[in-house]
Amino acid sequence: MTKAEKVDFTIKTLREIYPSIPVPLDHKDPYTLLIAVLLSAQSTDVRVNKITPFLFERADNPYDMVKLSIDEIREIIKPVGLSPMKSKGIHGLSKMLIEKYDGVVPQEIELLEEFPAVGHKTASVVVSQAFGIPAFPVDTHIHRLMYRWGFTNGKNVVQTEKDAKRLFPKEIWNDLHLQIIWYGREYSPARGWNLDNDIITKTIGRKTVIDNYYNAKKTR
């Protein structure tokens, strides 16, 4: 297959498997999505979705959030990990939202990246999923699959994002990045990977990745 044929195969297969794509993190508006994505750093969406109802019951907007102390926020979010940094970030970004934007989450990645504890990936998720603005957030699943499929050299997420944006049409970025996330979790995980179930990697994947997989199986 040519690179273009591999890209077309990937898009077609993902559309067939995921004709509708749920957003993994529970939220009701841009602010609650921003908080949920921040909490998901080095945690799981399942764990975050268990914690955010308790947090949002106390404060689901920046005005109520700043009424909580950093320690109060930290106590609620402890189960998701990195609670000292995340609680300061949540309180700090809520205060900044009120002071600079009248409590309204901005739609520009560059502005979101100015908030405490908000990096490029978090900002990209918010603009794509909350506002429908084309972006291609790269998480561990996308980074892993883009390498397995031979679409990037896998050296870092910055390069992976550039390669993804270059290969895939802009109008499908928002759906595609969610489709790849779900596919990575269900068919091409980092652990417990069964290549026989991973139709995309098995069809278009890097030869070295496939060879390493089967060689590892032989030594088990």
Report the catalytic residues: 121, 139
Interacting residues of 184 by C-beta distance below 8 A, sequence separation 6+: 141, 142, 144, 145
What length is written for the chain?
Answer: 220
Tokens of 144: 């892993």
Nearest to 136 by CA among 188, 176, 108, 105: 176
Nearest to 15 by CA among 197, 147, 129, 168: 168
Compute the distance between CA of residue 85 and CA of residue 207 in angstroms, rounded to an integer. 41
